[in-house]
Amino acid sequence: MTSVTVMLEDELQTIAMGQKIAAIIHAPFTLYLTGDLGAGKTTFSRGLIQSLGHTGAVKSPTYTIVEPYELNGMDVFHFDLYRLADPEELEFMGIRDYFTQQSLCIVEWPDQGFGLLPEADVHIHLKYVDQGREMTLVANSLQGEQLIKQL
Ligand SMILES: Nc1ncnc2c1ncn2[C@@H]1O[C@H](COP(=O)(O)OP(=O)(O)OP(=O)(O)O)[C@@H](O)[C@H]1O
Ligand SMILES: [Mg+2]
């Protein structure tokens, strides 16, 4: 299992990790983001999505569950499953249709969709350490390993 851990001292470093990954990621790819409330999942996603070319704000799709973008020739879907009452809701929204060869899926709170989400290529874990955050990236596929090796 390939994994790498980095220390992110402030918000800018979290955004910079998103930018770094934006430069090397390509579809199809699934990223899971796990970490406590306020750990930086949306901050990282914002860095990634804006670096892929989105110029507006990146709102947390807490109530809408998913926010779609078309960036860099990819269908980018930013999920936040925090408020999902029941994983079955994912069936109703046709969750599988989001995971195509053209899509980059970024999923905050993937545990909430356990059993109904495709496995991640890279699972990112964010943890509070002092004033900053520790980020661990774990590869779960060949594509995931290749991405982590390029970091
Ligand atoms: N490396 C860092 N060090 C310190 N603060 C950080 C770091 N990265 C992000 N932050 C700050 O922590 C907060 C993270 O909020 P964010 O919305 O990104 O968290 P989240 O994990 O998406 O939370 P939620 O589970 O509520 O969606 C922001 O205020 C951001 O400025
Ligand atoms: Mg969030």
C-alpha 40/C-alpha 124 separation (Å) is 11
Query: Is 35 touching ligand 1 by the criterion CB < 6 Å?
Result: yes
What does the block give as tokens for 95? Answer: 């969750």
| 34, 106 contact by CB (below 8 A) | no
CATH of 3-150 among 3.90.550.10, 3.40.50.2020, 3.30.70.1150, 3.40.50.300: 3.40.50.300
φ, ψ of residue 102 to 5 degrees: the values are -95, 0
Ligand 1, from 6, 7, 12, 14: best to mutate by most atoms within 8 Å of Cβ? Answer: 14
What is the predicted pLDDT for the residue at 60? 87
CA distance 112 to 90: 10
CA-to-CA distance for 24 and 6, rounded, in angstroms? 17
In the chain, which residues have pLDDT < 50? none
Task: Report the C-alpha gap between 7 and 93 in whole angstroms.
Answer: 36
pLDDT tens digits along 57-70: 998 888 899 999 99
Mean pLDDT score of the chain: 96
Q: How far is the CA of 13 from the centre of ligand 1 (A)?
A: 11
Contact 38/6 with Cβ under 8 angstroms?
no
Measure 102 CA to ligand 2 centroid, in angstroms. Answer: 24
